[in-house]
């Protein structure tokens, strides 16, 4: 299971440049994301390309093995933000912009089924006009309109706060303000189908394509349901500047009322709807009868949870499922590639593995030399060779938390660490006053160079810990494996760990990852490791306002250098996007920000 918003997808992807143009690049083969993906994202403004779902044949029921179960209908808050929910929701919740794989490259386009247009009408101040199709409705027949856009703006830009367990102020809506706080006003047309967002002077937002949209790790939710359940008569009358009883009512339902799955409130505004979800083993999608566009190929999609990659491959071979999307596994990849009965998709995506130190713990907060020594003893090349190379031969240790190796703008800022250098790690500790004990582990005062590395139960992650333990033990640093089934779902967002091993599923638009690293009081809703850097927060926020593409790349790399200097997190490797299917169904591929393997399920056909 991977977290979203590193985007993401991160993810967190599925990669793209900082901002994407509507035009597709050329030259990459199917599944090849190894080249520059968008050398010229184009000027901000104008009208992006419209995408409409194709007319396809009904292929009946399709079973898909995915790595974990759908969790929550509202996946837009810090407490729930999880990639596994995106797998189901990407074809359910409406999104003005969507991702498409074109010639092996991820391209951001306007969802032409949902939107009539999205246009920049002014640059001073930046003004965006969003026109929703007249026919667009939720699955209960209510219009998708300005109310839904206003709700997202309200919850993201709200100034209302609440004190967290650590005493720090945080958004009452547990939502990142990135981009939305730049909007001075949001206006609705008389029929509600045209929305105009006007940004504050000097507060333009370069990645506006990510607002209200999946590529920015968001989606629209049915505001009329919130109005019914909260008792708030008109959500458009509630403003981000308010901090009163009305806002509290909205926040109560927004953060609690859409948790889990309740069909009466978990509506669809896309081609599919969730028919049932046990939040553990199975989620069932069926065609949305109120969908106004071309119906998807599968009449029903059964998402079956299988956390073991080899078991998922067995399900595929036994014809229990048609498609699988497990964590990338070398043995599975090699096995399926050797059989003409199956098709395999593998490519370097936007998802990346990393280790985060809990910076609220004195062990890490007060000992930068320990963080550096750990980074030095980590053997990332061994990780790549043993865990990734058989899936993606082009894989290499990751040198950035902001760009992936196959993205325009990538620079390696971590090449001097992560090389399994035992001698360097020991020297760092000894220079810092650490003394090696009789048990071989270094200590300094009250501190012992020992910590638990938490992660969800995944074979590859257990293998990762074993590899990291080896060189670090030689360097006098003890790493204790701390794996639990609910780590990503519960312990990670609650910051209940010493250090965390997980993957962000990044987004093609880099502004979305701001919430993963920004100070909590400044929008860091996904900042689970309590990293607290005003310099990083200010630099990234400034990059989000910069419309000059090359300047933004420079600023994003400057932000990455700040994080490298602080060493609050260590990037390990770019995780290959991986999916496989029976050779008689397709096209099967993978875009993390688009929902992984289900991003284009509407187009699946029998061959």
Q: pLDDT of 356-381, one tens digit each?
A: 999 999 999 999 999 999 999 999 99
Tell me: pLDDT of 42 over 80: no
Q: What confidence category does residue 82 fall into, taking pLDDT thresholds of 50, 70 and 90?
A: confident
Distance separating alpha carbons of residues 67 and 307, to the nearest angstrom = 5
Other beta carbons within 10 angstroms of residue 267's beta carbon come to: 26
Tell me: pLDDT of 118 over 50: yes
Specify the pLDDT at position 43: 47
Number of domains in the chain: 1
Peptide bond before 125: cis, by omega within 30 degrees of 0?
Answer: yes
Residue 547 in tokens: 């419309």
Share of the chain above pLDDT 90, in %: 72
Q: Are 223 and 107 in contact (CB under 8 A)?
A: no
Q: What confidence category does residue 28 fall into, taking pLDDT thresholds of 50, 70 and 90?
A: very low
Q: Parallel, antiparallel, or unpaired for β 272-277 and 194-199?
A: unpaired
Nearest to 534 by CA among 518, 514, 512, 523: 518
The region, left, alpha or beta by phi > 0 then psi within -120 to 50, assigned to residue 61 is beta
Alpha helices in 338-445 (DSSP H): 362-365, 368-377, 380-383, 422-431
Q: Are 259 and 74 in contact (CB under 8 A)?
A: yes
> What range does the domain containing 135 cover?
3-53+94-256
pLDDT digits (tens, 9 = 90+) for 191-244: 999 999 999 998 999 889 989 998 877 899 999 999 999 999 999 999 999 999
- Within 13 Å and on the Cβ side, how many CA atoms surround 335? 15
pLDDT digits (tens, 9 = 90+) for 371-409: 999 999 999 999 999 999 988 888 899 999 999 887 878
Whole-structure pTM value: 0.78
Nearest to 8 by CA among 98, 109, 84: 84
Residue 13 lies in a domain: yes
Q: What is the CATH number of the domain that holds 141?
A: 3.90.76.10
Distance separating alpha carbons of residues 207 and 184, to the nearest angstrom = 16
Average pLDDT over residues 250-271: 98
Triad 276, 277, 279: Cα angle to 5°: 170
Tell me: pLDDT of 32 over 50: no
Residue 342 lies in a domain: no
Average pLDDT over residues 292-304: 98
Peptide bond before 587: cis, by omega within 30 degrees of 0?
Answer: yes
Residue tagged 């003004």 (tokens): 127
Distance separating alpha carbons of residues 350 and 278, to the nearest angstrom = 29
Specify the pLDDT at position 207: 87
Specify the pLDDT at position 23: 24
Specify the pLDDT at position 11: 27
Q: What confidence category does residue 18 fall into, taking pLDDT thresholds of 50, 70 and 90?
A: very low
Average pLDDT over residues 500-521: 85
pLDDT digits (tens, 9 = 90+) for 275-295: 999 999 999 999 999 999 999
Tell me: pLDDT of 108 over 80: yes
Nearest to 125 by CA among 545, 434, 435, 466: 545
Residue 15: which residues within 8 A CB-CB, separation 6 or more? 33, 37, 106, 348, 349, 350, 404, 406, 407, 506, 508
Tell me: pLDDT of 13 over 50: no
Average pLDDT over residues 2-26: 29
Q: What confidence category does residue 37 fall into, taking pLDDT thresholds of 50, 70 and 90?
A: very low
Tell me: pLDDT of 2 over 70: no
Tell which wins on pLDDT, 73 or 592: 73
Tell me: pLDDT of 165 over 70: no
Specify the pLDDT at position 383: 97
Residue 224 lies in a domain: yes
Residue 498 lies in a domain: no
The region, left, alpha or beta by phi > 0 then psi within -120 to 50, assigned to residue 228 is alpha
Residue 52 in tokens: 């409409």
Residue 565 lies in a domain: no
pLDDT digits (tens, 9 = 90+) for 554-567: 999 999 999 999 99
Specify the pLDDT at position 47: 66
Specify the pLDDT at position 592: 86
Q: How far is CA 373 from CA 120, 280, 427, 428, 446, in A?
A: 49, 39, 8, 6, 18
Share of the chain above pLDDT 70, in %: 91
Residue 20 lies in a domain: yes
Nearest to 452 by CA among 501, 516, 490, 494: 501
Residue tagged 């310099």 (tokens): 535
Q: What confidence category does residue 246 fall into, taking pLDDT thresholds of 50, 70 and 90?
A: very high
């Amino acid at each position: 299971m991977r977290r979203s918003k590193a985007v993401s997808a991160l993810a967190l992807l599925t990669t793209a440049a900082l901002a994407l143009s509507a035009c597709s690049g050329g030259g990459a083969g199917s599944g090849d994301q190894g080249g520059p993906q968008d050398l010229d994202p184009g000027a901000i403004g104008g009208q992006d390309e419209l995408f409409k779902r194709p007319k396809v044949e009904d292929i009946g029921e399709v079973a898909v093995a995915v790595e974990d179960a759908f969790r929550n209908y509202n996946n837009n808050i810090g407490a729930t933000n999880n990639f596994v929910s995106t797998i189901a929701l990407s074809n359910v919740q409406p999104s003005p912009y969507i991702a498409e794989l074109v010639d092996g490259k991820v391209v951001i386009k306007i969802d032409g089924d949902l939107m009539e247009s999205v246009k920049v009408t002014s640059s001073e101040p930046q003004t965006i006009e969003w026109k929703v199709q007249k026919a667009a409705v939720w699955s209960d027949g209510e219009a998708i309109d300005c109310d839904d856009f206003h709700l997202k703006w309200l919850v993201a830009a709200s100034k209302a706060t609440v004190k967290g367990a650590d005493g720090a102020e945080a958004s009452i809506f547990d939502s990142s303000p990135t981009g939305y706080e730049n909007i001075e006003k949001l206006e609705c047309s008389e029929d509600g189908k045209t929305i105009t967002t006007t940004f504050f002077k000097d507060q333009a937002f370069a990645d506006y394509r990510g607002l209200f949209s999946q590529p920015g790790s968001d989606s629209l939710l049915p505001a009329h349901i919130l109005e019914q359940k909260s008792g708030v008569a008109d959500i458009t009358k509630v403003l981000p500047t308010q901090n009163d009883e009305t806002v509290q009512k909205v926040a109560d339902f927004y953060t609690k009322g859409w948790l889990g799955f309740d069909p009466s409130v978990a509506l669809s505004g896309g081609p599919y709807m969730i028919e049932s979800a046990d939040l553990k083993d199975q989620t069932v999608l069926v065609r949305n009868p109120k969908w106004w566009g071309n119906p998807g190929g599968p009449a029903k999609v059964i998402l079956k949870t299988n956390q073991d990659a080899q078991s998922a491959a067995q399900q595929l071979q036994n014809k229990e499922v048609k498609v699988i999307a497990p964590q990338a596994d070398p043995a599975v990849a090699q096995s399926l590639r050797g059989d003409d009965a199956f098709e395999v998709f593998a490519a370097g995506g936007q998802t990346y593995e990393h280790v985060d130190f809990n910076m609220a713990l004195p062990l890490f907060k007060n000992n930068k030399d320990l963080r550096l020594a750990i980074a030095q003893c980590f053997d990332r090349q061994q990780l790549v060779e043993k865990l990734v190379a058989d899936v993606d031969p082009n894989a290499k240790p990751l040198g950035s938390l902001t760009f992936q190796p196959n993205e325009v703008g990538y620079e390696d800022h971590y090449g001097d660490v992560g090389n399994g250098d035992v001698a360097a790690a020991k020297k760092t500790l000894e220079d810092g006053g650490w003394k090696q004990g009789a048990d071989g582990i270094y200590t300094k005062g009250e501190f012992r160079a020992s910590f638990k590395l938490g992660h969800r139960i995944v074979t590859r992650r257990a293998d990762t810990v074993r590899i990291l333990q080896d060189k670090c033990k030689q360097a006098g640093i003890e790493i204790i494996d701390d794996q639990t089934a609910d780590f990503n779902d519960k312990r990670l967002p609650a910051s209940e760990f010493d250090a965390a091993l997980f993957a962000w599923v990044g987004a093609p638009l880099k502004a979305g990852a701001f919430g993963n690293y920004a100070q909590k009081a400044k929008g860091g809703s996904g900042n689970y490791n309590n990293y607290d850097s005003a310099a990083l927060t200010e630099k990234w926020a400034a990059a989000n306002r910069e419309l000059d593409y090359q300047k933004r790349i420079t600023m994003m790399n400057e932000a990455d250098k700040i994080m490298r200097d602080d060493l609050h997190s260590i990037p390990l490797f770019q995780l290959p996007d991986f999916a496989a299917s029976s050779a008689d169904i397709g096209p099967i591929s993978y875009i993390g920000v688009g929902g992984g393997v289900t991003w284009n399920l509407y187009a699946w056909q029998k061959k």
